[in-house]
Amino acid sequence: MAAWDAIVVGAGAAGMMAAIEAGKRGRRVLVLDHSQRIGRKILISGGGRCNFTNIGARAENYLSANPHFAKSVLARYTPRDFIALVEKHRIAYHEKTLGQLFCDGSAQQIVTLLEREAAEAGVTIQADTAVQEVQHGDSFTLRTNRGDFHASALVIATGGLSIPKIGATGFGYDIARQFGLRVRDLRPGLVPLVFNPDDTKRWCDLTGLSTEVVAYAGKRSFREKLLITHRGISGPAVLQISSYWQPGSALRFDIAPGKKVLEALQASPSGRETTALRQALYAALPQRFADRWITTHPQQKWSNAALEASEQALHQWEIIPAGTEGYEKAEVTAGGVDTDDLDAKTMQARNVPGLFFIGEVVDVTGWLGGYNFQWAWASGAAAGRAL
Ligand code: FDA
């Protein structure tokens, strides 16, 4: 007989939730993690305050090859369910913006919540244990740096490739492939973008400047802040749109959303010169950005048609990024274990009874704003209830 009913690999958000739910149902659960501390990504999340959910989380807020897959799991463990847990542990929180809930204090409170719930549910957690290999016969055998472990069920909650320096590995994808599950192409998501060399020369000395934009990739758009960095662009609008960006393609930005910047100039036949143009741009954009815009987009003609073209340029700034800042800076990994190979209610592999994949390792990637943790809680709970 296997020593454990279930072993969860990965003591992050998803793995801890799965273990807690299974433990509450009387299952003997062991959680293994190769890090010294559990929940390291939770600790660095949300600027140290953990944006632990989004009250509006729905399947529409996620990228996946199957956009319907997340519906069932998200419906059966909602933001309300996690908020109830936060309130049970008397953790003060606030809504920052757009439904994003953060701890008033620190992200450590969320890790402590998970540790307490796990202890109450009788879950055993063993840190500093790297799972190196998995074998499957009547049960699952895990070979680790601390010996072998056996379990009837195995939950892979090892997350994605982002932030390797705090323990991210491709282990979950390797296990998926070993058991014949497909893995959708992986790429950094919610990641700053790097300018091409020309745009670097044009813009990067404005590092730190931020302005509200609407960022577009195809039909998808986000109205939030864009930030110029020393290598390219970041800020919430850019992070959001980066998940939809295809390398080599153009992104479009409306840098004066909802404004008719040159309306007054167009209405008046006199006074059409650079000083008036500068004043009009100052009213809509940060001054340094406006000055640079005039240099990079010199107004050659002052006809109505030329002014209209300039107005349009402000609403359709096109950039072809050279690339992304990669997994070192990405908040998530887009792509992952193919949802077609998983049961949408339990997260169990369709062809391998007892094997589950949850959290970021799965091809379900949330927007910025608490959606990724909500997916981790919900997919973890789904597996935990099925173990
Ligand atoms: P997670 O990566 O959390 O956990 C995986 C665990 O598996 C790790 O503990 C790792 O050590 C372990 N592991 C890996 N390989 C192993 C092996 N071979 N053996 C044993 N253990 C192994 N999301 C959000 O909703 N709100 C937010 O505020 C933020 N903020 C944020 C900031 C930053 C800087 C980053 C990088 C990310 C965010 N995110 C976020 C995203 C969020 O952190 C992420 O989606 C979840 O942590 C994913 O949870 P998982 O449990 O799936 O993986």
**Does ligand 1 have an atom closer than 6 angstroms to the CB of 236?**
no
From ligand 1's centre to the CA of 277, what distance in Å?
Answer: 48
Taking the CA of residue 35 as reference, the ligand 1 atom at the shortest distance is: 11
Q: Whose CA is nearest to atom 45 of ligand 1?
A: 372
From ligand 1's centre to the CA of 311, what distance in Å?
Answer: 43
At residue 269, the pLDDT reads: 87
At residue 98, the pLDDT reads: 92
Write out pLDDT tens, residues 309-329: 999 999 999 999 999 999 999
* Domain count of the fold of the chain: 2
Confidence of residue 192 (pLDDT cuts 50, 70, 90): very high
Which residue among 285, 305, 324 closes a domain? 324
- pLDDT of 110 > 80? The answer is yes
Mean per-residue pLDDT for 93-109? Answer: 97
From ligand 1's centre to the CA of 324, what distance in Å?
Answer: 20
At residue 134, the pLDDT reads: 98
What domain range includes position 210? 193-324
Same domain, 262 and 308: yes
Same domain, 302 and 172: no
Q: Quote the mean pLDDT of the chain.
A: 97
- ipTM reported for the complex, 2 dp: 0.99
* Global confidence as pTM: 0.97
Mean per-residue pLDDT for 124-135? Answer: 97
Write out pLDDT tens, residues 265-282: 999 988 899 999 999 999
At residue 38, the pLDDT reads: 95
At residue 2, the pLDDT reads: 66
Which residue among 272, 297, 324 closes a domain? 324
Under 8 Å between Cβ of 334 and 243: yes
Taking the CA of residue 380 as reference, the ligand 1 atom at the shortest distance is: 51
Same domain, 58 and 75: yes
**Does ligand 1 have an atom closer than 6 angstroms to the CB of 111?**
no
At residue 1, the pLDDT reads: 54
Same domain, 375 and 299: no
Confidence of residue 43 (pLDDT cuts 50, 70, 90): very high
DSSP result, 26-70? T--EEEE-SSSSS-HHHHHGGGGT-EEEETT--GGGEE-SSTTTH
- pLDDT of 195 > 60? The answer is yes
Same domain, 362 and 233: no
DSSP 339: G
Burial 191-225 (b: 16+ CB within 10 A, else e): bbbbbeeebeeebeebeebbbbbbbbbeeebbebe
At residue 244, the pLDDT reads: 97
Which residue among 280, 298, 324 closes a domain? 324
Mean per-residue pLDDT for 240-262? Answer: 97
Same domain, 184 and 93: yes
From ligand 1's centre to the CA of 47, what distance in Å?
Answer: 14
Same domain, 165 and 251: no
CATH of the domain at 304: 2.40.30.10
At residue 184, the pLDDT reads: 98
